[in-house]
Amino acid sequence: MAKKKKVKISRKQLLNEPDEFITFSSKLLKFTIDHKSQITIAVSVIFCFILAFSGWRYFLNKAEDKASISLDRNITRYESVKVKEGANKAYLEVEKDFQLLLKKYSGRHGGKLARVIFANICYNAGKPDEA
């Protein structure tokens, strides 16, 4: 088996060849100048997509926060009424608010957690059918 000989390139030959970085940079600059409007449109579309995605995530997070705050408020009210007047009265007090929370934020984590907590409230009030 014959081994391939490595061809050594001398420094003089390397200096005679054009620099790869400068060649690539000039080609890229020429391409950018030739396709200026297409590149501008592409960058604008990407920027709009990123902006829309950020806005969407912001409003999802706001809805999640509202669901958690509403759930906390309902649980606090339920616990305070339960201590004073019992589980049945507390159930009647928070039923509508929990139903609204379940309807409005059913897809959020707070809404899913509210469903489980409300089922426990129904069970404690002696209404397992509604749980």
Report the pLDDT value the prediction gives residue 131, as an integer from 0 to 100. Answer: 66
Q: What angle do CA 130, 117, 104 make, to 5 degrees?
A: 80
- Between CA 125 and CA 83 the distance in angstroms is 13
Three-state DSSP at 32 gives helix
Three-state DSSP at 113 gives helix
Can you give the residue ranges of every domain in the chain?
A: 63-131
Report the pLDDT value the prediction gives residue 58, as an integer from 0 to 100. Answer: 98
- On whether the CB atoms of residues 114 and 105 are closer than 8 A, the answer is yes
Q: Running along the chain, 131 residues long, what does each successive block of 10 average in pLDDT?
A: 70 77 93 96 98 97 94 94 92 93 91 93 87 66
- pTM, full prediction: 0.67
Specify burial of residue 98 (Cβ count, 10 A radius: 0-12, 13-18, 19+): buried
